[in-house]
Chain A
Amino acid sequence: MQYLLLIYSNESQWGRMSEAELGKVFGEYMEFSKGITASGHYKGGNRLDATSKATTIRVRDGKRVVTDGPFAETKEQLGGYFLIEAKDLDEAIALAAKVPGARWGSIEVRPILPVMSS
């Protein structure tokens, strides 16, 4: 079964980190990605650019409303994701716990709804 691991953390922390600290975090993410690719759990994943680069679109009454920024202001912001294959929630939780961001942020584990068969 597939799950989406949504990686949330306070974005402002990145600006406060040194080159060396950032390098360390990216290194940990590389390790993690390599690990779950080797184990066959990895189905996809990406880092997202900051919410300051985000744009939100809504269509109401046929009119397109475009706003600068994320869909809502939140204390922690979505910074990236992994799409994984896991046999059950416990396995997905174990993987989510290994995401480096789990140590300072929050990882939401969401089941992917299976494609409806006709």
Chain B
Amino acid sequence: MGCPVNLEREDFEKIYREESGRVLATLIRLLGDFDLAEEAAQEAFATALEQWPLQGIPTNPSAWLVSTARHKALDVIRRRTRFQGKQEELQRLAELQVENGRDAESEDVMLSHVLQSDDRLRLIFTCCHPALKIEAQVALTLRTLCGLTTEEIARAFLSPLPTTAQRLVRAKQKIRDARIPYRVPPMDELAERLAAVMLVVYLVFNEGYNAASGDALVRRDLCAEAIRLGRLLCELLPQEAEARGLLALMLLHDSRRDTRAGANGEMLLLEEQDRSQWNREQIREGLALVESALRSAPPGVYSVQAVIAAVHARAERAENTDWAQIAGLYDVLLRLQPSPVIELNRAVAVAMAEGPAEGLRLLDELEMRGELRGYHLLSAARGDLARRLCQWSTAADAYRQALALVSNETERRFLARRLAETESQRQ
């Protein structure tokens, strides 16, 4: 142990965020119970908060926390057993006492055996099990792997606090009572299960990047957590090319974070952003990951989207963007995942490559099919293209339609501005 340190609340929170996922993952394996593991982990962190400022931060904080938590867990089980006398609890108590005795040999032995990198993988796959509702998967992942509090999760997804709390309680109950196994899925299920995990990570990033409603266009913290999860997936599953594709996609989008809002908080489009302010480090890393992913395997949906983001990232100025390539990439994406939203994005790219008339024709077709009714971005895109063709009446109608559907405040102001510009042209 080191000498007494001045442990700031901030430092401690940083350690908590970094270590809690690893600690919890191992404890769940050792104790076989989410709630018990969480309770024990909380008590261990409380003890750390008391002891570390006096004794210094241990060389291996997670091992110290796991060891302390196991002892706390024994106390928790004893307390429960005294009142309920459950057979299972008594058995676990006995097992833990034996294990603790054995590991008391040397701290080094414990360090190597107790903490397994697989544990966080087990935890992610369990949190993202298809038997849980998608909202529960997201909440549980953020809670256990990222150490977000229930309040933080509720705020991030604009859910009422009791709803989020209840969601977490029910998810853990289901894991326990339906006996969802705590394991990495076997090979024959891995691809499908990994897709579920990546979807959760993608949803978290998306929520942070495109806040569904409310004022801020970007919620940084969620993006950072999603990227951290993405890194974890790449680290734990180095052979999975799509994991690299997903991380690349998130990094390339996140690199534009500081340029997406103007001085007054207004929304800036890709062509209006100050590219010199794009984060070069993230772009460099993102581009390397894209190349690595494409070398390893035929691209999946995340990798293709990452390549599209890469085309934008490589263009020094908006005018240099290879829109024809992007339109072609959307074709590839559509073959992998037919979706009217992707068709919309493709139409926008076609408009840039071949002119607004061609793009508008595609968007009108999409509108007629009716699948995107209620989706404000379709109306917004139609408004934009009609405006570029000086079709003021059509544009104004489309912008009005979009305004009726939009929920994000920043986007709403942007559309209102466009409508005003269009109306002034009609005079």
Contact = CB atoms under 8 A, between A and B. Distances in A.
Interface of A: 1, 87-90, 93, 109, 111, 117
Given A87-B181, A90-B185, A111-B177, 17 more contacts: A1-B179, A87-B179, A88-B179, A88-B180, A88-B181, A89-B129, A89-B131, A89-B178, A89-B179, A89-B180, A90-B180, A90-B189, A93-B131, A109-B178, A111-B178, A111-B179, A117-B86
A75 to B, nearest CB: 21
Contacts, number: 23
Most buried by A among B87, B178, B181, B185: B178
Contacts of B179: 1, 87-89, 111
Give the size category of B's interface with A: 10 to 19
Interface of B: 86-87, 129, 131, 177-181, 185, 189
Nearest to B179: A88
A17 B87 CA distance: 51
Contacts of A117: 86-87
Contacts of A93: 131
Nearest to B175: A89
9 contacts: A1-B179, A88-B180, A88-B181, A89-B129, A89-B131, A89-B181, A93-B131, A109-B178, A111-B177
A89 B125 CA distance: 14
A85 to B, nearest CB: 12
Q: Is the interface of A mostly helix, strand, loop or mixed?
A: mixed
Q: Is the interface of B mostly helix, strand, loop or mixed?
A: loop
Nearest to B84: A117
Nearest to B181: A88
Contact of A90 (B86, B87, B177, B181): B181
Contacts of B86: 117
Nearest to A93: B131
Contacts of B181: 87-90
A70 to B, nearest CB: 25
A87 B20 CA distance: 29
A90 B180 CA distance: 7
Contacts of B131: 89, 93
Most buried by B among A90, A93, A111, A117: A90
A30 B189 CA distance: 27
Contacts of B189: 90
Nearest to A86: B179
Contacts of A109: 178
A88 B189 CA distance: 15
